[in-house]
Amino acid sequence: MAEPTVITTIKKIDAASAPVLGEALNQALDSGVKELVVDMGETTYISSIGLRVFLAAQKRVRAAGGSMVLTHVSPQVMEVFDITGFSGILNIGD
């Protein structure tokens, strides 16, 4: 079994950085990666654009029969995931 590909996010996932994150996720999926780990240890803010990036990646990885896990999610970001219902859609690990 292949090691998962790890993508590390930055402090703020907003209109400026979300497209860069989306491109990194898409490149990994385009290259055939089936197991993604997104390390969010540095992230303290996520905008609605960032949420859409994760939703699109989640749909792609599931359609490919893979999985994506978000790790080290800060309390601030977890609150956004909870309020928006994304905590029930995304796979959030430790």
Q: Cα–Cα distance between 69 and 66 in angstroms, integer?
A: 10
pLDDT digits (tens, 9 = 90+) for 25-44: 999 999 999 999 999 999 99
If pLDDT is split at 50, 70 and 90, which confidence band does 3 have?
Answer: confident
Residue 38 has what pLDDT?
98
pLDDT digits (tens, 9 = 90+) for 34-74: 999 999 999 999 999 999 999 999 999 999 999 999 999 99
Is it the case that residue 16 has pLDDT exceeding 90?
Answer: yes
Q: Give, in order, the Cα–Cα distances in Å from 6 to each of 28, 71, 82.
A: 9, 10, 23
Q: What is the pTM of this model?
A: 0.93
